[in-house]
Amino acid sequence: MTEEEPEANKPIEGTVIEVELPSIENSRRADSAVESSHGKKKGMILPFEPHSITFDEIVYSVDMPQEMKQQGAQDKLVLLNGVSGAFRPRVLTALMGISGAGKTTLLDVLAGRKTGGYIEGSIKISGFPKRQETFARISGYCEQNDIHSPRVTVYESLLYSAWLRLPSSIDSNTRLMFIEEVMELVELNRVRNSLVGLPGVNGLSTEQRKRLTIAVELVANPSIIFMDEPTSGLDARAAAIVMRTVRNTVDTGRTVVCTIHQPSIDIFEAFDESIEGVSKIKDGYNPATWMLEVTTTAQELNLGVDFADLYKSSDLYR
């Protein structure tokens, strides 16, 4: 899976962005408004339009280093070759593969984060050709490395993100109420006033930082969210907590795509979709091993199908 790449926005030297943050009194009013509205409304206070993302025959290549060319290598190195697929709202999709398989590369191409190389193929958002300048407004990206300011609290991190990224047409109280909803969704209320701190030194645990990364993207109210190995570096319990947050995000109606490496069976079962006829994973079996076994040519021969043809004749492909 891959996508077009926009030029990175270059910062203007000497420019200061001034952000007006709400007063503590306004924040408290919003808190009480949220409390009084709990149990009465479904979904989230800020609406969003669900979007699907489809890609067809994506090819991503980069220039081969000059030294390699001099040794007779081809001019371009192909990293993604003819990748097709579709991601839909309310469906949690996993991109699985060994290290170096191209999971993050595909994610970056689809998200428009590749600023070098050559991208070919078609990427569409709900049937319309993808334009990066508008796609950036409806999408979020959670990187594998969680980067946050260590000297602010969890609540302040979300506050800054919301005030910088939400449209100016949304009033302060609505923003504050939305932040409260997001904190409840990712289960960060208990540490709302805790300093983020430095990874492995003080502040939030690795698992809490992962959930904060997801929350910082969610307060921008995206329709599509890409997550690069959200369970990387976590033990089984912490990974399960993070995946519960991811599942909660999907249940709001958003399109969520995760790269994942060597998942536990509990994490693996959090994802959607299956192919009819393929045997279910056995209890205690390694999901990555199972995935490799059921996608072999031998498995296709046993079922009498071609997985690529099966996809191209599916409702998802149409």
Is the pLDDT score of 142 beyond 50?
Answer: yes
What pLDDT does 9 receive?
A: 39
What pLDDT does 156 receive?
A: 95
Beta-bridge mates of residue 58: 83
Mean pLDDT, range 141-165, rounded to an integer: 92
Closest CA to 307 of 268, 284, 276: 276
Q: Confirm if 110 and 256 have CB atoms less than 8 A apart.
A: no
Q: Confirm if 162 and 219 have CB atoms less than 8 A apart.
A: yes
CB atoms within 10 A of CB 217: 22
Q: Percentage of the chain with pLDDT > 70?
A: 86
171 belongs to a structural domain: yes
Tokens 């205690």 belong to residue: 284
What pLDDT does 311 receive?
A: 81
**How far is residue 243's CA from residue 280's CA, in Å, rounded to a whole number?**
21
54: three-class secondary structure by DSSP: strand
What pLDDT does 284 receive?
A: 79
Q: Confirm if 43 and 252 have CB atoms less than 8 A apart.
A: yes
81 belongs to a structural domain: no
Mean pLDDT, range 234-238, rounded to an integer: 84
184 belongs to a structural domain: yes
What pLDDT does 264 receive?
A: 72
What pLDDT does 240 receive?
A: 86
**How far is residue 76's CA from residue 59's CA, in Å, rounded to a whole number?**
12
16: three-class secondary structure by DSSP: coil
Higher per-residue pLDDT: 257 or 296: 257
The CATH number given to whatever domain includes residue 204 is 3.40.50.300
* C-alpha to C-alpha distances, 54 to 97, 126, 244, nearest whole angstrom: 20, 8, 26
Q: Confirm if 314 and 306 have CB atoms less than 8 A apart.
A: no
What pLDDT does 43 receive?
A: 59
**Would the CA dihedral through 181, 185, 189, 192 be positive or negative?**
negative
Mean pLDDT, range 260-275, rounded to an integer: 73
Range of 266's domain?
A: 30-53+89-100+134-273
Closest CA to 89 of 56, 55, 123, 53: 53
Is the pLDDT score of 27 beyond 90?
Answer: no
35-39, 147-151, 153-157, 293-297, range with the lowest pLDDT = 35-39
**How far is residue 304's CA from residue 299's CA, in Å, rounded to a whole number?**
8
Give the mean pLDDT of the chain: 82
Mean pLDDT, range 155-181, rounded to an integer: 94
53-77 pLDDT tens trace: 999 999 999 998 888 877 877 888 8
**How far is residue 31's CA from residue 144's CA, in Å, rounded to a whole number?**
31
**How far is residue 61's CA from residue 55's CA, in Å, rounded to a whole number?**
16
171-221 pLDDT tens trace: 999 999 999 999 999 999 999 999 999 887 888 998 999 999 999 999 999
197 belongs to a structural domain: yes
Phi-psi region of 29 (alpha: psi -120 to 50; beta: other; left: phi over 0): alpha
37 belongs to a structural domain: yes
317 belongs to a structural domain: no
Is the pLDDT score of 231 beyond 50?
Answer: yes
Question: What is the number of domains present in the chain?
Answer: 1
State pTM to two decimals: 0.77
305: three-class secondary structure by DSSP: coil
Closest CA to 222 of 312, 104, 72, 111: 111
170 belongs to a structural domain: yes
Please tell me which of 92-96, 223-227, 242-246 the model is most confident about, judged by mean pLDDT: 223-227
294 belongs to a structural domain: no
Q: Are strands 255-260 and 224-228 parallel, antiparallel or unpaired?
A: parallel
Sequence-separated (6 or more) residues with CB below 8 Å from residue 37: 177
